[in-house]
Chains A and B, each alone.
Chain A
C-alpha cells in the first residue's frame, strides 16, 4: 500500500481565525499553501460569542486590516449590528464592535479561501509534525499521508486533546461537538514542546421564539456605521441592523447556582485546566462577587437565518437540568427553550515563551504557531497572531527579514510580546490597559501605523500605500496650518463660541488653542476658519485628535523614543549567558529560558533587574570591542 506524499511551501494546521489569516498571508505572498481542518464546514467558525471587535479587540482587527489581513473585510460583509464603544471617552479607547451573522461570516471566509490562488483546503486531522534535527519538515495526517513543507503553522485552537463538560457529562469533542485532535499533542511532547492545559466556556443558545423580549431593554446599533476595514466604503455598510437585548440575573438565579455548585465540574474539581478571569462563568461571578445582587445578561442574535440567541454573561458548566432552571429564572427567559447547552471546554496549548516574537519556535526551526494554541483567547487575538505567523513563515522561506511589531507600534506587538515574554497562566485576552502607549495606538490610526509594513511584506498594494503617504502629508500640513492660524476676538468668533457654550475671547489666540477647549473641536470651528482646505473626513479626524491631545501625545512620543533605544539593542541569537559572570542566578536562568531578542525584551522578563541589564550591556560592549580587536588581528 502506498501513502500519499505531497509537497508544499507551507502547511497550516487549523482553519479557525488564526489559520485563515496565516494561510491567506502565505498564499497571497505566492507560496504554495495547504490548510488542514477537521471539518471544511467549520472554517472561520465562531463557537462562542457572535461578535467581532470590542474594547481593544477592535484595535486588533483594524491592525490586521492595515497589514493586509482579512478579518475586517469579512466582518464588514457579514455584520448585522455595529457599535463604536466608549464614544464619550478619549479617541484611544474608542472601539468598534460588530455583531456577526455567524454562518455568513464562516461562508464568506470560506469563499475567500477558495478563491485564493496557491491555497489548498484539505479536510484531515494532522496527527504528527515531522522533524529533522530541530527543523520541521512537514506534517503527517491520521490516515498516514505525508505533507512535506518548508514551514508549518500550528493554529489548532481549542481542538487539541479537547473535552467539553457540563455537570457530570463529559464529551470528548472539540467545540460545537466537532472532532477533536487527539494525537498531535504527543508528537509535540516528543519534540520537547512544553504543553499547558487551559479551559474556557460558552453560554447556552436559546430559541428566539421562546424569549419574551418585552421584559428586556433593546440595544440598538449606531446610527452611522463605521466599517472595520480601511478599504470598505462607509456608504456600503449602512444596513438595517438587528437588535440585541439586555436583561439581568436576580437573587433567585444566584440561589439556584449556589445550591448546585457541587455539581459544577470546576467546583467539583473535575476540570484541571486554567480558566480566564476576564470571562468568568456565571458560577464564578456569583461566588466571587457575592455582594452583587444582579448581573447583566446580553441576548445577542447568532445570525439572520437562525433562531438561536446567544446568552452573553451566562456561560456555565452546570448540569443540563440546572441550566434550564437558571436561565428560566431570568426575566424574559421564563419559557426559554435551549437549543445548545452551555459548556466548558478544556484543551491543550503551549507555554508561549517557547516562541520567538516572530511566532517561530526557538527550538524547532520552521515551526510557527498562532491563536489559542499559543495560550490566547478570542477570535481577534487569534487572527492577529495568524497574520504575523503567516507573514514570518513566508519571509523566512523567501529569505527576507521577519516582521516583529513592537509595543509602541501596535496592539499586535503588545499581544505577542506579552505572550512570549511574560508568565502566562490563563488564556490571554487583549485589553487597552495592557498597551502602555495606547494614546498612540488608536484604532483610528492603525492604517497610518502599519500600512507600510503590509506594503513591505507584499500584502498591501502600492496604491493603498501611496494613499497613506499622501494622507500623512495632508495631516501634517493641516496641523501646521491650524497651529499658525490666529483667531481675533471679533463678533463673529464670539458668536460661534457662544453657540457652543464656550467662554468668549479677551484677546486673539490660535485656532489650535480653541480646539483644545473641551467643548470645541476641529470640526465645529469650521465657520471661523475661512481658509480651511477641503479635506477627507479621515484626515480631519487625525488633525482634530493631534491638536486636541497634543500635550499628552508628545509626552508618549518621548517615552516611546526612550523605549525604542532598548528595543533596538539586539542580543545575538546564540548569546551565552553563562559567560556573563556578574548576572544573578535567577536572572541568568530566566534569560537562558526566554532567550530575548533585544535588551528591551530582556528588561521585561520578571526576575531580570535593571542591574542585570546593565551587566548585559557592559558585557555586550566588551564582546563587541574584543571582536573588533580580533577582527583587526585577523586582517593583518
Chain B
C-alpha cells in the first residue's frame, strides 16, 4: 500500500568487507539510474533484466563515491514484492553512509524501523506464522529509534531546532492571519522581510548540516564507560588515553553533565568514553546522584572498562561494581602496577573470565595492550557500533536537507513573485521536517500561533 521508495543500510555498521544498501519501491530504478554508471558508461540499469548483477561506479553528481556491484530485482519476486535494488559496496562506515545519503538525495526516503519487513508482510511475502515476529521487529526497532532520536539528541541541537521552528511557525501564522482576516492584517511588502528571515534560517540550517557531517548530531561510536571506586585512577587513565591518541575532544555547549564525556579514536575505532564518579556505597545525597548516574551509564554501555586499584584490597565498593558488571563486555585494568600489589590478577579471576590487563596510568604502561584488546574485540564482533545511531544521524541529516530544500523553494516562490499563500506550502513542509528530528509533530501549532500572536476575528 505504501508505494513511495525507501532505502536503508542492510548490513551492520562495522568495518567488515562488504556493505549493502537496499532500495525498495516504485522509484527504485529511477533512483539507481541517476547515480549508477557502468564502466563503459552506456548501460542503464532500468533496461536490464531482473535478478541480474552489474558492476560499475556510484556517483554523487560527478564525483565517484565507490566501486560497486548492483543487484537489480523487479517486483514481485523480491523480499518486499516491490522493485528492489541492492548496492554492494565496500564496507566502511563512511562509504555506506555516503551512499545512503546519495540514494536519499535522489528520490528515496529513509526506511522506517522494520519497514522492509513490514512491506514484505503487507505485500504477502512473509507468511502468517511469522506475523508475530514482524510485529516484534517493528516494535523493538521503533522503541530503539525513538530512544536514540530523542534521548540522545543533545540539548543544544534540540534548542536550535526548536528556535528555528518557532521562527518558521511565526512567519506562517502571520501569513495565515493576513489571509484569514485580510481587512485587519495587511501583508503588503512582506516578501522582503520574509526573504531576509529565511536567509537567516537557511544559514542556521546550513550550519547544522555541516555539523551533522562531522558526526556531531548523535555521537557515533562505541559507548564506553570507565568505572572503579574512588581514586582507582580512572581520570588519569582517561587523560592518558586522550593525550596519547590525539583524542578529539568534543565540547558540546548546552549540555550540563556531571559525568565527563570524551571521544577518542583507537586505531580507527571510535570510543565514546564516559568517566563516571567513583562508585562507593554512600549516604551522601549529592554523591549518590552521581553514583546512580554511573550505574545508568553502565546499563547502556557497549563496553565497560573497570579500573581496579591494585595497590589496595578489594572492598565493598569493588564488590558492588563486580555485581553490576555481570555478563557485560568488560575489560579489567589492574591500575597502579607501579606500586606494591595488594590485589592480584588471580583474585580478580574469581569474579571475571574477561581480559585483565596490568597498567600504570602514571608510567603509561599497558596502554598498548588495552588498545589491542579493544581492536580484537571489535573485529571479532564482540563489540559493535550502535547502528541505530548512524541511521538516526542519516535520518536527521536527510530531514535537515529536506527542510533546506523546502525553504529554498519558498525563496524561489518569492523570486517568482508568487502570491503569499504559496509561501505557506513549503514553509509548512520545512516545519514538519524539522519537527521530525526532535520528535514533534505539527498538530494544531499553526492555529495556536495564529490566535496567540495575531489579533484576528470579528
Contacts from A to B (Cβ < 8 Å):
49, 55-56, 85-86, 88-90, 92-93, 276-280, 285, 288-289, 292, 295-296, 298, 312-313, 315, 422, 431-434, 436, 438-439, 518, 549, 552, 555-556, 562, 565-566, 569, 581-582, 606, 609-611, 614-615, 617-619, 621-622, 625-626, 629
Contact = CB atoms under 8 A, between A and B. Distances in A.
Given A433-B179, A552-B422, 17 more contacts: A88-B419, A277-B452, A278-B451, A278-B456, A279-B458, A432-B180, A433-B424, A565-B2, A566-B1, A581-B135, A614-B142, A615-B138, A618-B121, A618-B122, A618-B134, A618-B135, A625-B128
Contact of A55 (B114, B134, B172, B180): B180
B75 interface: no
A434 B447 contact: yes
B121 A285 contact: no
Nearest to B114: A614
A497 B257 CA distance: 66
Given A89-B179, A285-B455, A582 B422 contact: no
B447 to A, nearest CB: 7
A552 B135 CA distance: 38
A126 B450 CA distance: 39
9 closest A-B pairs (Cβ-Cβ)?
A90-B419, A277-B451, A518-B417, A611-B142, A433-B176, A89-B419, A90-B421, A622-B131, A279-B457
A439 B121 CA distance: 36
B420 interface: yes
Contacts of A629: 128
B451 A85 contact: no
B428 to A, nearest CB: 8
B30 interface: no
Nearest to B112: A610
A618 B118 contact: yes
Contact of A298 (B179, B183, B424): B183
A315 B458 CA distance: 8
B180 A614 contact: no
B179 A55 contact: yes
Contact of A313 (B179, B450, B458): B458
A606 B443 contact: yes
A433 B446 contact: yes
Contacts of A438: 421
A55 B131 CA distance: 49
Interface string B149-182: 0000000000000000000000010001001111
B368 interface: no
Contacts of B315: none
A518 B412 CA distance: 13
B444 interface: yes
A439 B139 CA distance: 37
A379 to B, nearest CB: 12
Given A439-B425, A569-B1, A56 B180 contact: yes
Given A92-B421, A562-B4, A626-B128, A432 B179 contact: yes
A277 B453 CA distance: 11
B184 A296 contact: yes
Given A89-B419, A433-B176, A565-B2, A614 B458 contact: no
Contacts of B457: 276-280
A629 B4 CA distance: 30
Nearest to B417: A518
A611 B455 contact: no
B418 interface: yes
Interface in B104-127: 112-114, 118, 121-122
A278 B457 CA distance: 5
A433 B455 contact: no
Interface string B21-57: 0000000000000000000000000000000000000
12 contacts: A55-B180, A86-B182, A89-B420, A93-B419, A277-B451, A285-B455, A312-B458, A433-B176, A565-B1, A582-B135, A622-B128, A625-B128
Contacts of B416: 518
Contacts of A90: 418-422
Interface residues of B, number: 47
Contacts of B425: 439, 552, 555-556
Among A92, A436, A581, A618, chain B packs the most CB atoms within 10 A around the CB of A618
B138 A618 contact: yes
Contact of B118 (A85, A279, A422, A614): A614
Interface string B1-13: 1111000000000
Contacts of A518: 416-418
A15 to B, nearest CB: 24
Contact of B121 (A277, A280, A621): A621
Contacts of B443: 606
Contacts of A621: 121-122, 131
A279 B457 CA distance: 5
Nearest to B131: A622
Interface string B410-452: 0000001111111011001000000000000001101100111
B118 A433 contact: no
B200 to A, nearest CB: 24
B180 A433 contact: yes
A107 B4 CA distance: 54
Contacts of B446: 433
Nearest to A621: B122
Nearest to A439: B425
Contacts of A569: 1
Nearest to A606: B443
Contact of B455 (A56, A288, A609, A617): A288
B238 to A, nearest CB: 38
Interface in B169-227: 172, 176, 179-184
A615 B422 contact: no
Contacts of B3: 565
Contacts of A56: 180
B332 to A, nearest CB: 40
Contacts of B420: 89-90
B180 A289 contact: no
Contacts of B113: 611
A259 to B, nearest CB: 21
Contacts of A295: 455
Among A279, A565, A610, A621, chain B packs the most CB atoms within 10 A around the CB of A621
A432 B176 contact: yes
Among B3, B131, B425, B452, chain A packs the most CB atoms within 10 A around the CB of B425
A577 to B, nearest CB: 14
A55 B180 CA distance: 5
A287 to B, nearest CB: 11
Contacts of A622: 128, 131
Given A432-B179, A552-B422, A618 B447 contact: no
B408 to A, nearest CB: 14
Nearest to B117: A618
Contacts of A610: 112
Contact of A49 (B183, B417, B419, B458): B458
A129 B203 CA distance: 62
Contacts of A619: 135
Nearest to A295: B455
Interface string B77-118: 000000000000000000000000000000000001110001
A626 B128 CA distance: 8
A438 B444 CA distance: 16
Contacts of A432: 176, 179-180, 421
A615 B446 CA distance: 29
Contacts of B128: 622, 625-626, 629
Contacts of A292: 455
A614 B419 contact: no
B180 A431 contact: yes
Contacts of B428: 436
Contacts of A562: 4
Contacts of B419: 88-90, 93
B153 to A, nearest CB: 17
Contacts of B450: 278, 431, 433
A49 to B, nearest CB: 6
